[in-house]
Amino acid sequence: MNDFPNLDEYGYKIEEQLGCNREGGRITWKGKSLINQKTVVIKQFRFAVADSSWSGYKAYEQEIKILQQLNHSGIPKYLDGIETENGFCLIQQYIAATNLNNYRALTIAEVKKVTLKLLEILVYLQQQNPPILHRDIKPDNILLSDELRVYLIDFGFASLGSKDVMGSSVFKGTPGFIAPEQIVKPTLASDLYSLGMTIVCLLSNKNITEIRDLASTDNPYQLKLKSLFPELDRHFRSWLEKMTNAKTSKRFPNASIALDTFLSINSLDSPKTSILPKNDLQIDNLAKTKTIAATSAIVSLSSMSVWGITFVNRNTEFTAVNIAIAILAGIVIGITELSAIEIAKIDNSARVQGTVLGLGVPIFLVGASSIIWGISEAVDIAATIIIIEMLILSYFWWQIPFLKQKNHKLRFGFLFAAIFTGITLGLRLI
């Protein structure tokens, strides 16, 4: 006879205990739905028991709030929430998998596959509005099936953006896996640090305490990966060093950029024996859309460049002052556009500011120059701006993940064809 809580009247039957967090007042059970006989996970929060606290109850509420809005194959689904005499229960999809701490040792190829799937989950979370920060990524909270399917669990510490955790006196996260800035204000890059530390544990088959013993004496948050993994591929090690950098400014700003870089180094390292399954090597719809849109923009800008240069040549006198002004305008626009792009990358909420900066400065320069120097100089600056914009766009076109699955000659051929097409159209308009 067991002493499991009786949830029959709520439609569920508990079969066994999976875990217990006494400080948070939570017990995790494996159970079954009496309606459809499906196996479920039941997370019970018991506020009345000893050692439990309001922080545990708040974690319970936050986890339900976040899980209700998520729909991703790598995140167990929220099914139900019930209130019983003994406490509150969160009912969640059961996954037949093992957490990484109790899983067998993984090969490097398997670690990379797990890394890819976790990055895709983080990209999904960070694309929510507001972005979702997990704040407790570690081997215990990652499930892996026999088929190497990856699941991220336990959103009790998660937050909707970083604003709702500002000034909180409740420390959240697991020592060793949390980024330095997470103690004060977590960012999109904070989860990347935790993921990077998890990857280090998987590659070394060591726990976080053993890993920390190998950290730099100057900074306990900074690992010496070169000495820890001397034979690891340098591209992958360099990527991992950036993931686990103690300084936020030297880490990837978000999961999307980390994923793009990860796909790039793996396609460059071994295109014929890639760790990615065939479906993941296919061109996804987002990459198609980006490629088509960026290529069309390059063609248009190339046409405008030819037209602008010809117009300036016919109508503007080439003086040292005019040339200097045009060059200065080009430098200003180049710095502004690159800054605007970086601003937009850091946080979804900063995209508006980045867009305003990217569009506002060129318009201001052209308008101000027409008032100060006249129409001809304004056209000269506008033509320079178009050329700079085309060069910047071509650079970022080169970074699109889909294109990185191709070899350099083919990518250069695509880019040359787009520019040549634009120049041809521009000449026909003259």
Regions of the chain short of the pLDDT cut 50? 50, 166-171, 268-284, 348, 403-406
User: Do 109 and 188 fall within a single domain?
Assistant: yes
The number of domains in the chain is 3
153 and 86 together in one domain: no
Do 68 and 194 reside in the same domain of the chain? no
- Both 164 and 222 in one domain: the answer is yes
The answer to whether residue 185 sits within a structural domain is yes
109: in domain = yes
Euclidean distance between CA atoms 206 and 185, whole angstroms: 28
173: helix, coil or strand?
coil
Do 292 and 248 lie in a common domain?
no
Domain range holding 310?
285-429
List Cβ neighbours of 417 (8 Å cut-off, separation of 6 or more).
none
Same domain, 257 and 207: yes
From 93, 116, 134, the end of a domain falls on: 93
> pLDDT tens digit string along 145-182?
999 999 999 998 898 876 555 444 444 667 788 898 88
Sequence-ordered list of residues with C-beta below 8 angstroms from that of 357, at least 6 positions apart, any chain: 336, 339, 340, 343
pLDDT for 111: 95
Residues 272, 301, single domain; the answer is no
In angstroms, the CA 256 to CA 45 distance is 34
Tokens standing for residue 334? 């180049």
Neighbours of 149 (CB within 10 A): 15
Look at residue 394 in the predicted model and tell me its pLDDT: 72
**Domain contains 333:** yes
What is residue 17's predicted lDDT score, i.e. its pLDDT? 92
When the pLDDT of each residue in the chain is averaged and rounded to a whole number, the result is 77
3: in domain: no
Q: Last residue of some domain: 35, 69, 93?
A: 93
- Are 233 and 139 members of one domain? yes
CA–CA dist 85, 143 (Å, integer): 31
**155 belongs to a structural domain:** yes
Does the residue 1 lie in any domain? no
Does 55 lie in the same domain as 110?
Answer: no
- pTM confidence score: 0.63
Domain membership flag for residue 213: yes
Query: Which of 43, 76, 93 marks a domain boundary?
Result: 93
Same domain, 176 and 245: yes
